[in-house]
Amino acid sequence: MVFTAAQKSAAPAAGTRAPDQGVPSGAELPGAINELRRQRKAVILAHYYQDDAIQDIADFIGDSLELSRKAAATEAEVIVFCGVHFMAETAKILSPDKTVLLPDLEAGCSLADACPADAFAAFRAEHPDHLVVSYINCSAAVKAQSDLICTSSNAVDLVRQLPADRPILFAPDQNLGRWVQNQSGRELTLWPGSCQVHETFSEQALLQLQLDHPDAEVLAHPECQQHLLDLADFIGSTSKLLHRAEASDADGFIVLTEPGILHQMRQRVPHKPFYAVPGADGCSCNACPYMRLNTLEKLWRCLVTNEPRIEMDEELRLRALAPIETMLAMSR
């Protein structure tokens, strides 16, 4: 590994928080990241909710399911996961021999936080005969207590495949769970969690956008609340929303999910308008505060320092791996 003098002096001592010094400026930053990525034999994976600049430099952009497949298949030595903690943790579970870096270790997820492992264990104990299906937006400790992991992309399909005579617990997102229940016809016992971002969209603003753009199609992520999903023309994971925008004849699109996805939508469908639904009172709380902690500067820094790394106890990893492998085997 070869670093420049500026990079060496920028590397923080272990356990300390680095001042943002030594970062190449503006136009030099993408080139510096490219050079480090080559030296480290790293792959940069990014979720659609990342800042535009991170999406533009990533080797691969995808939804949770696609990113976990990439993490399982990559031959790179280092995975830089530009997303949130549970996504990077899933990459580590699938690729234990690789170094997995998350540019900002504070990039958590309100939904994963809404399901503490010990409370979830008590909930499971109340329903001993149930199959446990957990959305991938949960900690490794919750995954380890699950029979099957799903993402918003495959949840309906997977639940439909489960034995009809077994009751099902679904955690941690109640909005997604309700939608899966409606689509699959299976009754689910729901853990009462939700995403702070997808709970924030303003119905009034959505109705106004529909009045202003009557020919636009409403695209919604299933983490949205039921009263908003009732107004949607198409519901799906981030990748499915993107593919719908590409395939649809509609003149424009009103988008009910984190607005990071609009960057890819506008690139792939440049001749049509896209409208992001704001949060209540027009706040910008429709942007995921956790996803947005990652920046191009932190991406550069983690390639310089090889930190922060995702580490995991091997016994926990193996227990969390089993339901993820079941998901990958059942996903078409």
| Residue 110: contacted member of ligand SF4, ligand 13P, none (CB under 5 to 8 Å, by partner type) | ligand SF4
**Contact pick of 175, 200, 202, 238 for ligand 13P (by CB under 6 A):** 238
Residue 201 main-chain phi, psi, to 5 deg: -65, 140
3-class secondary-structure state, position 102: coil
* Residue 9 C-beta: closest distance to ligand SF4, Å: 34
**Contact pick of 74, 99, 152, 305 for ligand 13P (by CB under 6 A):** 152
Which residues are registered as beta bridge partners of 275? 254
**Contact pick of 24, 33, 44, 63 for ligand 13P (by CB under 6 A):** 63
| Residue 331: contacted member of ligand SF4, ligand 13P, none (CB under 5 to 8 Å, by partner type) | none
CB nearer ligand SF4, residue 201 or residue 250: 201
Gap between the Cα atoms of 259 and 331, Å rounded: 27
Residues 57-86 that bind ligand SF4 (CB under 6 A): 84
What is the total count of residues that contact ligand SF4 (CB under 6 A)? 14
Nearest to 258 by CA among 103, 158, 137: 137
Tokens 């309906």 label which residue? 156
**Contact pick of 55, 68, 99, 137 for ligand 13P (by CB under 6 A):** 137
CA distances from 73 to 76, 87, 124 (A): 9, 15, 32
Q: What is the dihedral of CA 108, 124, 186, 226, to 10 degrees?
A: -40
x/- track of binding to ligand SF4 for residues 88-127 (CB under 6 A): ---------------------xxx----------------
Nearest to 114 by CA among 147, 146, 86, 144: 86
Q: Are 84 and 290 in contact (CB under 8 A)?
A: yes
Work out the end-to-end distance of the chain between its first and last CA atoms, rounded to an integer number of angstroms. 40
Show the 3-state SS of 126-142.
CCCCCEEEEECCCCHHH
CB nearer ligand SF4, residue 36 or residue 67: 67
CB nearer ligand SF4, residue 67 or residue 304: 67
| Residue 151: contacted member of ligand 13P, ligand SF4, none (CB under 5 to 8 Å, by partner type) | ligand 13P
Binding-site ranges for ligand SF4 (CB under 6 A): 84, 109-111, 137, 195-198, 223, 258, 288, 290-291
Binding-site ranges for ligand 13P (CB under 6 A): 63-64, 137, 151-153, 195, 221, 223, 237-238
